[in-house]
Structure 1
Amino acid sequence: MDVVVGRAYKVSLEALKRFPWGKYVKFAFLFGSASSGGPAGDLDIAISKISLEALGDLLADLAKYLSLPEDFIDLVVVTERTPCPLVLEALKGVPLYVADWDEVYKYFNICQDQQIDSRKLRLLETALETIWRR
C-alpha cells in the first residue's frame, strides 16, 4: 500500500515498516488519514518515549529515508501525559514496529479504562454543568 502525502510524495507502507525503528523507539504506529491508505497532509506516527535529541535524529533520519521533507512527518510521543483520546486513536493505527507489546498494552489499557470511567461517571457532563452554572 502506498500513501500520497502532501499531494506530491508517495510513501510505501512497507518502506515505513522496514525503517530501523528499533534504533530509536520501542514502538511506532501509523495513524490518522495515512493509515487508511487515502491521501494525507502528513504522516502521523505515534512513538514510545524518546529523548529530545533522539527525537530530532529520528525525524531527520526518517525524512531522509523516505525522501520526504520533515514538515510532512508528525511524530507524536506517547507518554503518561499524552491525552487518552489521542493515545487510543494512535495505538489503533497500523503497527510499524513493536519491540515491547507490554508497553503498548499498558498505555492502551490505562486510556481505555479512563474513557470507560469517564463515561460512567459522566465527567464531561458534570464539568459542563459546573461551567454553565457560573
Structure 2
Amino acid sequence: MEVVVGRSFKVSLDALKSFPWGKYVKFAFLFGSTASRGFGNDLDIAISEIGLEALGELLAELVKRLSLPEDYIDLVVVTERTPCPLVLEALKGVPLYVADWDEVYRYFNVCQDQQIDSRKLKLLETALDAIWRR
C-alpha cells in the first residue's frame, strides 16, 4: 500500500515499516491525515525521545531512503512534556516500529487517564472561567 504526500510523492508503507528505526528510536508511528486518508501534505511520524544529533541523522536517512524532500517529513518526538491530545492521536496511528510496547502503553495510558480526569473535573471549563473572571 502507498500513501500520497504533497500531491506528487508516493511513499510505500512497506518502505516505512522496513526502515531501520531501531537504529534511532524505540518506536515510530505514522499518524495524521496521511495515515487516516492515505494522502496529506506531509508524513507525520511520532517517535520516541531522541538526541538532537540522532534526530538530524534520522531525518537525513528518511529523506534519502524515501526520496522525499525534508519539508514533507514531520517528526514529532513523544516525551513526558508532549501534550496528551497529540500523544493520543499519534499513538493511535499506524505502528511502523515498536521495540518497547510497555513504553508506548505507558504514554498512552497516562494521557488517556489525564483526558478522562480532565473531562470529569471539567478542568478546561474551570480554567476558562477563572480567566474570564479576572
Give the structure-1-normalised TM-score.
0.98
Q: CA deviation at 1:131?
A: 1.0
Does residue 106 (structure 1) correspond to residue 109 (structure 2)? The answer is: no
| 1:41 maps to amino acid | N
Q: Distance in 2 between matches of 1:42 and 1:17?
A: 17
1:112-134, CA deviations, whole angstroms, 9 ceiling, x for partnerless residues? 01001101110000001111111
| 1:49 corresponding residue in structure 2 | 49
| 1:40 corresponding residue in structure 2 | 40
Report if the CA contact (8 A) 1:2-1:37 is conserved: no
Q: How does 1:41-120 map to 2 (within 5 A)?
A: 41-120=41-120
| 2:16 corresponding residue in structure 1 | 16
| 1:40 maps to amino acid | G
1:58-102, CA deviations, whole angstroms, 9 ceiling, x for partnerless residues? 000011000001110000000000000000000000000000000
Report if the CA contact (8 A) 1:87-1:108 is conserved: yes
Structure 1 unaligned blocks of 5 or more: none
Does residue 123 (structure 1) correspond to residue 86 (structure 2)? The answer is: no
Q: Distance in 2 between matches of 1:35 and 1:82?
A: 20
Q: Distance in 1 between matches of 2:113 and 2:36?
A: 26
Structure 2 unaligned blocks of 5 or more: none
| 1:5 corresponding residue in structure 2 | 5
Aligned length: 134
| 2:35 maps to amino acid | S
Percent identity, aligned pairs only? 83
The ranges of structure 1 where at least 4 consecutive aligned residues each deviate by more than 2 angstroms after the TM superposition are none
| 1:55 maps to amino acid | L
Q: Distance in 2 between matches of 1:107 and 1:26?
A: 13
